[in-house]
A and B are shown apart, each in its own frame.
Chain A
Amino acid sequence: ETGVTQTPRHLVMGMTNKKSLKCEQHLGHNAMYWYKQSAKKPLELMFVYNFKEQTENNSVPSRFSPECPNSSHLFLHLHTLQPEDSALYLCASSQDPLGRRYTFGSGTRLTVV
Chain B
Amino acid sequence: QQQVKQSPQSLIVQKGGIPIINCAYENTAFDYFPWYQQFPGKGPALLIAIRPDVSEKKEGRFTISFNKSAKQFSLHIMDSQPGDSATYFCAAGGTSYGKLTFGQGTILTVHP
Contact = CB atoms under 8 A, between A and B. Distances in A.
A40 B104 contact: yes
Interface residues of A, number: 28
Interface residues of B, number: 25
A87 B11 CA distance: 23
A40 B99 CA distance: 21
A99 to B, nearest CB: 4
Contacts of A41: 104
Given A42-B104, A55-B98, A100 B42 contact: no
Contacts of A92: 43
Interface stretch (B55-63, B67-75, B78-86, B89-97): B89-97
Contacts of B88: none
A64 interface: no
Interface of B: 4, 6, 9, 32, 34, 36, 41-46, 49, 89, 93, 95, 97-105
Q: Which 10 A-B pairs have the closest CB atoms?
A: A104-B43, A43-B102, A97-B97, A48-B98, A99-B98, A42-B102, A42-B104, A106-B43, A104-B44, A31-B98
